[in-house]
Amino acid sequence: MLSITLPGRIPSKKNSKQLIYRNNRTYFIPSEKYNIWQQEQSWRLKKYVPKKPIERCKIEVTIYAPDKRKSDLSNKFESIADLLVDNRILADDNWFMLYEEHIKFGGVDAENPRVEITINEI
């Protein structure tokens, strides 16, 4: 079992994309806000990176928001799952590897907004 706590508000990767044009092509890239969050959290995750990424697991995520702003849990989870894959904690976030996921809203914690992640390897 691996338990990880990451501080702060989780930006949505999906809803904050920027449109850019390069070489006569259109690309969607994550927002600067998401990129900064991803870099900051990647530093925090370095101590949790296993020798080999986890290939099959169940994951439980509890999100504590800094305020009452409405948000979408599934979008937040997508940001978290992508972060875990990008940092080689999870091999992938497809349904053959991320076998079961539980996403909960833990409430508002203005003093300590965070996400608590528990990963159980199968």
Q: Which domains does the chain carry?
A: 2-121 (3.30.1330.70)
Structure tokens at 37: 């969050």
- What local confidence, expressed as pLDDT, does residue 18 receive? 67
| Percent of residues, the chain, with pLDDT higher than 70 | 94
Count of H helices and E strands in the chain?
Answer: 2, 6
Above 80 in pLDDT, residue 15?
no
The pTM assigned to this predicted structure is 0.87
Whose CA is closest to 98, among 83, 79, 120, 117? 120
- What local confidence, expressed as pLDDT, does residue 66 receive? 96
- Residues written for the chain: 122
